[in-house]
Each structure stands twice: as C-alpha cells, then as structure tokens.
Structure 1
C-alpha cells in the first residue's frame, strides 16, 4: 500500500512550512505530498499567517523536490476557469519533470468564497463535469490541432490546447460520497477514485459503485486506482497518542473510530482492513505540520511494514 502525505495549509502554514514537510516526505520515503485547496481556515483555527494558493505552492515544490509526486485533494472547481487550470497544471507538471496529479472537485465551502469575492454558483456539479471534459480534452488534443467546446457553462473556440504536460497523461483524481453522479464521473474521467474520511464499510460500498459505473462505461474496473484519505495520529505509547490528538483538538477515541490512530501496530491493522476493500493508497491527513517526529515514526514503524 502506498502512503501519501496530505496537508491542510488553510489551517495555518506558510510556504516554508510546507516546503519543510514536503522535503521530509521525500527524505522519509513516502510516495507523494498533496495539499488541500482552500483559502479560509475551518473550525477554531486562526489560519495564521494566512492562506497559500495550491498551485503556486506546488509550482515551488516542483522545483525544490526531485522524487515525490505532487497534487491536490481536491482543487476547487469554483476557483479556476478550466482552460486556465489546464495551463497551470501542465506548466507545473513540466516544472516537476512529470510528477503532478490533479484532484478536481466541485468546491463546497461557501464562506471562503464570500470572504475572497469568489463566485459560488448554485449548480456546481454540472460545472465540474464540463471542467473535467475541458481539462482532459485540452491535454489530449494532438499538437498542431485545436480544441473547441460548447457547453452550458463554458465555451472554448479554437484553443491551441497548449501547453502540454510532461506526462503523456496527468493522473486525474475524483472523490466523494455521492452514490450516483460521483461514480459516473469517476468512471468517465478518473485515473483514481478517492474516498475521503469514510469508514471501511462505507468505503467498500462506494468502491463497489465506482466499479459498477466503470463496467457500465466500458472500462475495466481495475483500471482505476482506489484510495482513501484519513486523518492520522500515531504514537509510540498511549501518552504520545493523547498528546498528538490534543495538539490537533481531537479526541483519541474519535480518531480511532474515524481515522488512523493509536500505536503503529493498531494503525497497520486498520490499514489492512482498508486494503481488503481494494484500497491500494492512503492519503495521511497531517494536521500538525510542525511535528516532523510524527512523520518519522510513521515512516519507520508503519510504512516499513507495508512495503
């Protein structure tokens, strides 16, 4: 099972903090560094020193890392026009030497839109479907040809469909709990389906829906990667687990129910239950970005048992 590090910088992190975590991610042998795409802190966090932009961050990290893959869970479709997003992601992929992955979602946090003057359309899912069609269409248009699209929400006319990513295909991630439209979109556009913050049972049900949708769309269900995103809180002993839980404002029992928490052995066992659903990749949501000892413990005592 691949372990990837997933950060939430809107809760309070500078670019330098993110760079430190990304370099530790690379040095400790993790597969990838991902970040959320939000502009406003959630809950009781003050968000200081203020938000960082996902794709500007990844552009910087693309030049300052060498091995790890880089991406978003999930880029908010409401933040960027699809033609512009296709350019941004292709450019950052070139800057990274072909290590970028695009997680794309509809956008959902209305308060951050009003805080920064970003339109928050009522109909977001239809826009997301058109965005996926445009971004993937721009990238897949052969060099020298143009791309046009006439949709309800977006229209492109004779786009040169440039630049192209370094990769022949940038992996596209789609995720969510929706029972019908989300599996259909994943079956149509995704290379990976991600189930965020869900129980083993809910994961199994949703993966089955995506596999069925892929079959209906004429794709082999196993052509997609299936993954989870889960908060992580590991300690060498109960006291260390409790300290790390307190540092992120959570309760140990709740984290054990809804995430990956406890001793390394407990977490390895729980990861095995997710693996049994078909999940081959887990994004470890790290909420305390100053606790690099946490990353080292996970690398040494959990990741080493999964390779």
Structure 2
C-alpha cells in the first residue's frame, strides 16, 4: 500500500501480489486530518455512551436502593404493627377465656338458684334468701378471688399456648351454649318458681317480732299466772323492755287493731294461705285496720296492757283460726334497723 500525494488528493494504492489487480483509492488531501478527528469523535461518543450508561446505572441503583430501603422500612412497620395486633389478639383471647370462665361460674350459680327454688317451692317453707344467698355468695366470692389473685414470672405466650387456650375456650363456649340452650327452655318456669319462693318467704312468719330472744312462757299447757290453775297458753311470751319496738313477722294486712280487757292493745295480721299472727299487750299500736305491711315493718311498742303481769310481748301464730306453736316458724333474726 502506497500513498501518492498530489495537489488536492491522495491516491491509496493496494498491491495484493503479482497475480492480482492493483486497487487504487483516491482520497482528498484533508482526509488525513479528518480520520484522526473521526477517531477522536468516535472515542468521545463511546466514552459518552459509557458515561451515560454508568450514570443511568448509578441512578437506577440509587432508585432501587431507595425503593428497597422504603419497602424495608414499610415492611418493618408492618411487622411491628402485626406484632402489636397479635399481642392485642392474644390479650383479647385471654380476656375472652377469663370471661368464659366467669360466665361459666355464674351459670353454675344460676343452676344452684334453680335447684334452690325447686326445693323451696316443693317444701313450702324456709326462707329463700337463707338458702340461696349463702351458696351463690360463696361461688361469687370464689370467682372474685380467682379473678383478682395474680402473680408469677413474665413468660411470653407461644403460638402453641395461644392455640391450646383458643381450643379450650372454644370447647368451653360450646358447652356454655349447650347449657344455656337447655336452661332457656325452663327459664320462664325457673323465674316463676323463684318469684313464688320469694313470695312464699315474704308471707311466712319466720321473723322474730322483737329483738329479745328470752322466752318466759312457751306454747302449750301451763299454770295460769293469775289463778295458778292449769290452762292452755295459745302463744309465746317474749320478755322485753317497755316500749321496745315490735315488728311484723311477715308480709300481710292488718285485720284487727283494737283493745280489750284480756289482750289489751293487740294487732292481728293476715298473711294469706290461712296463716295469721297476733301481737298482744302492746303499749301503743302504730298501725290500723286495713294497713298493708311489709315483713319487718314496725307495728307497735311492747307494753303490759290487758291481762298481763309485766312488760312483754305475747306472740301467736294461727293456722285457719287455730293457734299453733310459733317456735318452728321463728328462723330469722331482725335486721339492723
């Protein structure tokens, strides 16, 4: 290959070998300057391309990192939120489990109330309050203690623990639903029985009419304090101080409130069902005929009016107008007024 320089052009001669044709390429004279420039331009273009690619790569990587960091922070927040929600769910599960146990305990109390109502209604005597409150109160007290007595080391709940608690709670709730379904069938009957038991307790003269428990003369045969002859004592004499309060032994209505020479000031109360009570020798009567009374309501003051040797209350219980022994009925003490 040879270069032939003229005034305005160069001839580029290619001589392969003796057997082949010579190739001539004519080039302008300025091509010697353009070739290096073209090479430089090509190099600059390639460098620029690489620079742009590198810059784009850096920007892409920075965007990817920012996106990843943002997603990582968001994922971290979501994990924290999920953990918090999980703890709340676990706490809620524990609360539900405790409420289930508490409800189950109350259900047992209701069952005992039902049994007590049945017993009271069937027996037709004894106080409904005296039977029920003692048993129900004990259960409620035990439940209260069980829910408040807490202590011990802090141990995290594992998923297995939560699953066991959840399974046990489900079983307890299933049993409760079954029990409630059975009880709802007889709830109206049980409520009616309780109401009947409460009414029976309110109209049964089980309350001591005075605070004193000192009996000076019981029901039955005795020597008359005035004649010293055998006579029938139709009530119970309870020693008391003058003007001590006298209370109705049961709910009822006053059918007699008057004075006579034998009984002095005396009150008779009808309690329905053939039962009546009578209070003799009162110093003062605080009720009148027709008054409706509650059990334990104040009706008069102890005295010694009529055929009496001193301040006391002569108390009688009558069944179908026949005096009977009051002792078996007196099972309740007076409340603190």
TM-score (normalised: structure 1): 0.21
Greater RCO structure (CA 8 Å; 6+ sep): 1
Larger radius of gyration: 2
Q: Which has the higher strand share?
A: 2
